[in-house]
Amino acid sequence: MVTQSDAPICSPETAIEALQSEDNQIRYYAAWWLGKHQVQSAGVPLCEALADEAYRTPQGGYPLRRQAARALGQLKNPQATPALIEALNCEEDLQLRAAAIEALGAIGDDRAVPHLVALLQSGKEQPLEALIEALGSLQVWSVRSHIESFLNHASERVQCAAARYLYLLTQEPQYIERIVRNLSHDNAYLRWSAAFDLGAIGHLSAAKAIQEAKIANSLKLLNLKRILTAALESETETAAEKQKKCRVLMQSIDELLIQL
């Protein structure tokens, strides 16, 4: 039998309806669709999906809950903050916790701060990369000394996340240099994630390094654009600083356009 919820997902209404489908794959796709299209009216149904434990993999993960968290991060609606804080309590699926942390960082609601700090100080295994990035985005500078200790962490991703936090706080070039180093890393994943870190920082010295890195051209364009967007929208830089950044970044982007 074809039910209403099996209608193709092609509008906000059909996608919200599809969150209730019998088919977990369809529910997952619906959550992705609602996030991609930033359907604000989907906030409440996505918060329900965030708490729905019915779809669980044999390994114990909750794919739908993770996707709902990511979608709520894309909606950026602070009304989802309490539901996302609740999802932080899930001990069985650290990927869900990571997705909830990222969403809280994207939303930027200060109500998340004490909960994120508590995770940092828990002494248990945490999705550190996401946690450090969210603490940076939320400008939680009180945990600085704790974050500094991660510069020597075993994971290079965690080291870069710490460098990004510390750059946002101090504006000292040494932290950018730490991330730029990874643009020439042997591991392709570390190269592209370094490009995203630099794109998020929005500093001009990163632009040249991004342009020359061995990463896909589309990633270079995207991250140069992120730096240029930050420059254009900055409220603290002078007109002369903006003008210089615009000139350099546009020249870089212009040159990359004819590359595949």
* Cβ contact 69:84 at 8 Å: yes
Taking CB under 8 A as the binding criterion, the range among 2-10, 99-107, 112-120, 245-253 that sits at the site for another protein is 245-253
Indicate the DSSP class of residue 141.
G
Is 233 an interacting residue with respect to another protein (CB under 8 A)? yes
Shortest separation between residue 34's beta carbon and another protein, angstroms? 18
Pick between residue 151 and residue 221 the one whose CB is nearest to another protein.
221
Taking CB under 8 A as the binding criterion, the range among 66-74, 142-150, 155-163, 251-259 that sits at the site for another protein is 251-259
State which of residues 38, 57, 171, 229 lies at the interface with another protein (CB under 8 A).
229
Shortest separation between residue 102's beta carbon and another protein, angstroms? 23
Shortest separation between residue 228's beta carbon and another protein, angstroms? 5
Q: For residue 16, give Cα distances in angstroms to 6, 144, 191.
A: 11, 41, 37
What x-and-dash track marks residues 154-173 binding another protein by CB under 8 A? --------------------
Taking CB under 8 A as the binding criterion, the range among 79-87, 110-118, 149-157, 240-248 that sits at the site for another protein is 240-248
Three-state DSSP state, 197: helix
Phi, psi of 91 (to 5 degrees): -85, -25
Q: 181: closest CA among 213, 211, 155?
A: 213
Pick between residue 143 and residue 204 the one whose CB is nearest to another protein.
204
Q: 199: closest CA among 231, 174, 173?
A: 231
Token digits of residue 180:
């730029």
State which of residues 142, 170, 187, 259 lies at the interface with another protein (CB under 8 A).
259
Token digits of residue 5:
């919820």
HSE value, Cβ hemisphere, 13 Å, CA-based, for 181: 13
Shortest separation between residue 244's beta carbon and another protein, angstroms? 10
Token digits of residue 215:
């990463």
Shortest separation between residue 48's beta carbon and another protein, angstroms? 30
State which of residues 1, 2, 154, 258 lies at the interface with another protein (CB under 8 A).
258
Distance CA 72, CA 60 (A): 22
194-198 — which CB contacts under 8 Å span 24+ positions? Answer: 194/160, 195/219, 195/220, 195/223, 196/223, 197/160, 197/161, 197/163, 197/164, 198/223, 198/227
Is 204 an interacting residue with respect to another protein (CB under 8 A)? no
Is 228 an interacting residue with respect to another protein (CB under 8 A)? yes
- Interface residues with another protein (CB under 8 A)? 217-218, 221, 225, 228-229, 231-233, 239, 242-243, 246-247, 250-251, 253-254, 257-260
